[in-house]
């Protein structure tokens, strides 16, 4: 049985029974999990600096010689793909006097010359040129390459550990979830556009990505008209999760034998959540939404890099209109609805109204995410 067929069957049963997947019990989360700065810093270090995080999609560096720069949680990064097709991640800082080596956001080149003193590195991070070396003095080039970060690529996603010298086993980290990611065929999509969204605190922001309980009340003009509120099909693989929502047309499957369902995926919406910071929502119709979510310097802010994908490069006016309409709809749903609502949560965290949040049984993915944080930190 295909995943789509299985998920559609489970979603249809919930729809007919007025039910949803549930956690074994409710969960209490103390407000200090959202407001305590020392706890936030410890969790930020363990979850985002000592563990692998997703930083890009493979399709953003499709060819040897491609590169991209980002600054993630204060760390300037240079992502490259070398002539053998291997992805690398370096701290985008010259080893001579610390200037950024590459100032462009993306492009195609094999060498990078520091704009300060013209030290030159190749896309494998090796120091290949020292301007005026005779007068500067001898340089041990073998030890003066760009500082490289552990970088692995799986299922169309590039993972990095932001702590220099710290390695990770990506296969152990993803486990069987890697197969679910591979099924998304992320390398076959087209990147239509990217944008950055400022948000409230990390956990309050992530909570909103992990439940459908709010869809009817918050997304009445965007997602709500197309999905069934408070109906979630939930699966986990280690810290990672998959969520399936029923689309409003799910009832069309009633009375039709499952073996005759031609496109079960057209009756559900599936979101893959890669711990701790990647959300992938592939939506029927040829468009997809990807979000990389990073905590800010304190517990009160996040930064989201959002990608809009299309199944094909839009060439006709109708195709361009379709993907742009999707892009604007998702921007409204995430920025103007989700993030605007979560900002009110952030503003009230210290009001004294609550000393904890009660997470319902119908919010299993929220519960699972918080438990995964505790497991990584060792609480």
Q: Which residues contact 36 (CB under 8 A, 6 or more apart)?
A: 299
Q: What is the DSSP letter of 47?
A: I
Q: Which residues contact 252 (CB under 8 A, 6 or more apart)?
A: 267
351 pLDDT higher than 90: yes
pLDDT (average), residues 372-379: 92
| Domain definitions of the chain by residue range | 3-51+176-377, 53-167
In this prediction, residue 226 carries a pLDDT of 85
CATH class for domain 3-51+176-377? alpha beta
pLDDT (average), residues 117-136: 97
1 pLDDT higher than 60: no
- CA-CA distances (angstroms) from residue 253 to 56, 232, 243, 296? 37, 17, 20, 44
- CA-CA distances (angstroms) from residue 140 to 95, 129, 177, 230, 272? 11, 11, 43, 61, 45
284 pLDDT higher than 80: no
In this prediction, residue 223 carries a pLDDT of 84
Distance, CA of 35 to CA of 349 (rounded, Å): 7
In this prediction, residue 23 carries a pLDDT of 98
- CA-CA distances (angstroms) from residue 300 to 34, 43, 179, 304, 324? 8, 14, 35, 14, 31
In this prediction, residue 379 carries a pLDDT of 67
Give me the percent of the chain exceeding a pLDDT of 70.
99
Give me the percent of the chain exceeding a pLDDT of 90.
94
Mean model confidence pLDDT for the chain: 96
Name the residue among 368, 176, 167 with its Cα closest to residue 275.
368
Distance, CA of 190 to CA of 196 (rounded, Å): 18
Q: Which two tokens stand for residue 214?
A: 């709010």
Give the burial class of 151: count Cβ atoms within 10 A of its Cβ; 0-12 exposed, 13-18 middle, 19 or more buried: buried
Q: pLDDT per residue over 139-158, tens digit each?
A: 999 999 999 999 999 999 99
In this prediction, residue 282 carries a pLDDT of 74
For 223-236, b/e burial (b = at least 16 CB within 10 A) is bbeebbbbbbbbbb
224 pLDDT higher than 90: no
122 phi, psi to nearest 5 deg: -90, 180
In this prediction, residue 309 carries a pLDDT of 97
Distance, CA of 96 to CA of 104 (rounded, Å): 20
CATH of domain 53-167: 2.102.10.10
Q: What's this model's pTM, rounded to 2 decimal places? A: 0.96
Q: pLDDT per residue over 17-75, tens digit each?
A: 999 999 999 999 999 999 999 999 999 999 999 999 999 999 999 999 999 999 999 99
């Amino acid at each position: 049985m295909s995943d789509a067929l299985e998920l559609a069957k489970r979603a249809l049963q919930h729809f007919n029974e007025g039910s949803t997947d549930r956690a074994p019990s409710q969960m209490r989360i103390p407000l200090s999990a959202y407001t305590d700065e020392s706890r936030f810093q410890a969790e930020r270090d363990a979850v985002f600096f000592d563990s692998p995080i997703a930083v890009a999609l493979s399709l953003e560096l499709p060819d040897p010689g491609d590169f991209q720069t980002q600054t993630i949680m204060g760390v300037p990064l240079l992502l490259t793909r070398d002539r053998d097709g291997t992805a690398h991640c370096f701290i985008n800082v010259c080893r001579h006097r610390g200037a950024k080596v590459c100032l462009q956001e993306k492009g195609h080149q094999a060498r990078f010359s520091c704009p300060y003193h013209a030290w030159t590195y190749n896309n494998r991070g090796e120091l290949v040129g020292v301007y005026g070396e005779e007068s500067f003095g001898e340089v041990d080039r073998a030890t003066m390459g760009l500082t490289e970060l552990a970088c692995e690529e799986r299922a169309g996603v590039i993972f990095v550990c932001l702590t220099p010298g710290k390695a990770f086993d990506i296969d152990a980290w993803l486990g069987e979830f890697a197969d679910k990611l591979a099924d998304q065929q992320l390398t076959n999509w087209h990147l239509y556009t990217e944008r950055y969204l400022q948000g409230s605190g990390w956990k309050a922001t992530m909570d909103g990505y992990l439940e459908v309980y709010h869809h009817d009340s918050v997304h009445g003009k965007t997602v709500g008209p197309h999905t069934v509120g408070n109906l979630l099909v939930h699966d986990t693989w280690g810290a990672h999760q998959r969520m399936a929502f029923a689309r409003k047309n799910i009832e069309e499957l009633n009375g039709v034998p499952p073996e005759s369902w031609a496109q079960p995926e057209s009756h559900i919406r599936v979101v893959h959540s890669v711990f701790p910071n990647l959300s992938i929502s592939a939506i029927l119709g040829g468009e997809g939404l990807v979000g990389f979510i990073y905590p800010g310097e304190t517990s009160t802010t996040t930064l989201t890099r959002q990608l809009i994908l299309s199944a094909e490069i839009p060439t006709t006016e109708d195709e361009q209109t379709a993907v742009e309409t999707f892009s604007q709809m998702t921007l409204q749903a995430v920025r103007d609805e989700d993030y605007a609502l979560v900002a009110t949560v952030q503003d009230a965290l210290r009001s004294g109204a609550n000393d904890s949040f009660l997470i319902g049984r119908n919010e299993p993915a929220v519960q699972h995410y918080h438990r995964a944080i505790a497991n990584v930190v060792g609480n």
